[in-house]
Structures are given as C-alpha cells and as structure tokens.
C-alpha cells in the first residue's frame, strides 16, 4: 500500500508541476506583417503630414507670442536713467543708515565718531544733492563741537555756508 500511495503522490506532484509550467508559458503572438498594405501606407503618410503641419503651426504661434512679449517688455521696462536714479537713491540711503547707526554707537563711552564722519563725507562726495546728503549734514551738525574739531568737520560739510 505504501508503494501505491507513493506512486499516486508522485503522479499528483508531476501533474501540478506541469500545470504551473504551462500556466507560466505565454502565448506567442503571430509575427506582424512585414509591410503594411498600400492603403495603410497612404494613411500613415497623411497622418504624419498632418502632424508635421500642426507642429509647424505651434512653432510659428510660439515665435509670434515670444516676439509680442518681448515688445511688451520693451514698452513697460523703465528707462535706464530712472533705474540709475533709483539705484543711487538706494545706495545713498544705505550709506546714510550706516552713518546714523555709527552716530548712535559713537555717543557711548569709549566709542568714536570717526566712522560716522567717514560715512557722511562719502555720502556728501558721491551723492551731494540727495535728501540723504542733507540728513548727513544734519548728523554732522549734531555732533559735539569737540568732535567736530577733532575730525576737522568744515562749515561747508555741515552746510552752514555755501
């Protein structure tokens, strides 16, 4: 009896293995035809031509849009002189803010007005006719008289005489 059971189990195992092997095999598709029919070739050419026309039309439209945007930017962009004036105002304001900060620091014991005076002189030299230059003159006027003498601050720098 043992032998018959073993044969049965062996047969079942072989059957399961074959079933698994067959289920894993893929069905092979028939090979494609070498060349499409003449009518299909004409359809393919027509489709490719239509696709090429659409692509060219998109490219032309994109070029026109780019040109339109460039023209609009030229109209909107500020003049170089106005941009330079704005940049100079920003630079003058930055220097004035540094001078003002140094003025606050210089009031403390053991600190010096030298950096404040240097910033004010730089501002008066580079940007003489700006509102920041007038503020720098006011900073120089507000300095203690002893410090004005120490750093040789002139009446012209303080705008007392012109």
d(CA 66, CA 68) in angstroms, rounded, equals 5
Q: What is the pLDDT of residue 23?
A: 74
Pairwise CA distance, residues 46 & 39, whole Å: 11
CA angle 115, 116, 119 (to 5 degrees): 85
| Cβ neighbours, 10 Å, residue 130 | 20
- Which whole number is the average pLDDT over 32-39? 66
Between CA 123 and CA 91 the distance in angstroms is 9
Q: For position 43, what pLDDT does the model report? A: 84
Residue 92 has pLDDT above 60, yes or no: yes
Distance CA 74, CA 76 (A): 6
User: Minimum mean pLDDT among 12-16, 62-66, 87-91, 154-158: which range?
Assistant: 12-16
Most confident of 19-33, 64-78, 126-140, 147-161: 126-140
CA distance 84 to 81: 5
The pLDDT value given to residue 157? 87
- Whether the pLDDT of residue 98 is over 60: the answer is yes
pLDDT of 27: 55
- Residue 134, pLDDT above cutoff 80: yes
Determine the pLDDT at residue 45: 84
CB 139 within 8 A of CB 153: no
Residue among 132, 124, 45 at smallest CA distance from 92: 132
User: What b/e string do you get for 55-94 counting C-beta neighbours within 10 Å, with b at 16 or more?
Assistant: eeeeeeeeeeeeeeeeeeeeeeeeeeeeeeeeeeeeebbe
Interval 21-38 mean pLDDT: 64
> What is the model's pLDDT at position 20?
80
Cα separation, 7 vs 87, whole angstroms: 98
Collapsed DSSP state (helix, strand, coil) of residue 104: helix
């Amino acid at each position: 009896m043992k032998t018959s059971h073993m044969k049965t189990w062996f047969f079942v195992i072989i059957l399961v293995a074959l079933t698994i092997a067959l289920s894993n095999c893929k069905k092979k598709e028939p090979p494609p035809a070498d060349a499409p029919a003449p009518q299909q070739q004409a359809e393919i050419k027509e489709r490719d031509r239509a696709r090429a026309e659409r692509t060219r039309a998109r490219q032309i439209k994109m070029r026109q849009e780019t040109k339109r945007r460039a023209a609009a930017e030229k109209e909107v962009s500020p003049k170089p002189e106005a941009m330079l004036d704005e940049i100079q105002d920003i630079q003058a304001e930055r220097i004035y803010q540094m001078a003002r900060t140094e003025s606050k620091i210089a009031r403390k014991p053991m600190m010096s007005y030298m950096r404040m005076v240097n910033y004010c002189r730089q501002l008066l030299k580079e940007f003489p006719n700006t509102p920041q230059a007038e503020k720098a003159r006011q900073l120089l006027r507000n300095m203690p008289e002893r410090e004005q003498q120490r750093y040789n601050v002139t009446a012209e720098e303080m705008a007392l005489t012109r």
